[in-house]
Amino acid sequence: MKTRVAAAVAAGYTAPLICTSGNATTVVLTLLDALAAIGCAFIYHGDFDWPGIQLANRIMERYEAQPWRMETQDYEYLVTRTQMHGAPPLLLTGTRIEATWDPELALTMDAVGIALHEEAALDLLLEDLG
C-alpha cells in the first residue's frame, strides 16, 4: 500500500502535505510549530478510531487546524463505501474520545462500531489536493 505522501506525489500533486504516520512525534511537532510560527494554516485528516480522534484533538487545538473530511457525515459515507466494496470491517475498540470539533462524531462512531484508517479516504483526499 502506498503512503499518503507517495500517493500524492505519484498523482502529481504539489500542495504542501505533512504525514505524521501515526502519533505526532517531537520532530513532527517541531516542524508544525515552526510552520505555525510563520503563519501557516493547517487542515487535518486522520484515522477514525479513538487514537486518531485523540491525535486530531491535539493537532486541532494546538494549531487551530480545521478538520479535513473528519466530520460525522464523512465517517458515515466512508463506512458505507467501505462496506459496499466488501472490505472486512475493522472493529472500533477502546474508550470513546470526544471529537472537539464535531460533538456527534464520537457518538456515531461508537454506535456504528467500525474504525477506519486514513487510507479509506485516500482517493478523496487526493482529489481535494487537486
Q: Is the dihedral of CA 73, 48, 1, 4 positive or negative?
A: positive
**Closest by CA position to 82, among listed 92, 96, 97:** 92
> Reduced to 3 states, what is the DSSP secondary structure of residue 12?
coil
**Closest by CA position to 104, among listed 53, 59, 58, 55:** 53
**Per-residue pLDDT tens over the stretch 20-70:** 777 778 998 999 999 999 999 999 999 999 999 999 999 999 999 999 999
Q: In a 10 Å sphere around its CB, with 0-12 CB exposed, 13-18 middle and 19+ buried, how is residue 10 labelled?
A: exposed
**Per-residue pLDDT tens over the stretch 7-29:** 777 777 777 778 877 777 899 89
Q: Please say if the pLDDT value at position 119 is more than 90.
A: no
**Cβ contacts of 86 within 8 Å, gap of 6 or more:** none
